[in-house]
Amino acid sequence: MLPKLNFPDYEFRFKKNDKGGLMIFDCIRKKFVDLTPEEWVRQNMVLYLIHQKHYPKSLFSIETGLKLNKTQKRTDVIIYNIDKKITLLAECKAPNVKITKRVAEQALRYNLVHKAEYVILTNGLVHVYYQIVHGMPEQIIDMIDYK
């Protein structure tokens, strides 16, 4: 049974993998991926941004690689604008992972590379939104709609 998250209810496609584990269809990557607690949050966040905030699927990138201090990392969700500049970065955690200062610092470190205007932190239960103004994160109440 999947935990109820603090998102609207969405329809998802599921299937079993070769080992009997559950997979979920990722509408951005257009393939089934293993359903982990973090992936459950990511898929809900993606549909929230598409359906409630009206971001076009064509502007999304999932698990984008980045180099940070000579270490390879991955960003959970990136959204580009029509000029291919990154506008939004979302860091998704499993529901049992608290959104702490450490989680915020991780996402904001990633954003030193990506330079997105907006950063979202979520564990599916708690959502924290930042707008980056003159290089500094300012917490905002909600994510803006796509313009």
pLDDT tens digits along 79-118? 999 889 999 999 999 999 999 999 999 999 889 889 999 9
Partners of 62 in the β-ladder: 77
What are the sequence ranges of the domains in the chain? 14-140
Q: Is the pLDDT of residue 60 over 80?
A: yes
Q: Where are the alpha helices (DSSP H) in 1-147?
A: 37-51, 101-114
Q: Is the pLDDT of residue 41 over 80?
A: yes
Residue type, 106: Q
**What is the pLDDT, as a whole number, of residue 123?**
98
For residues 122 and 128, the answer to whether their CB atoms sit within 8 Å is yes
CATH architecture assignment, domain 14-140: Alpha-Beta Complex (3.90)
Q: Model's pTM, two decimal places?
A: 0.94
**What is the pLDDT, as a whole number, of residue 93?**
97
**What is the pLDDT, as a whole number, of residue 74?**
86
Span 44-56, mean pLDDT?
A: 97
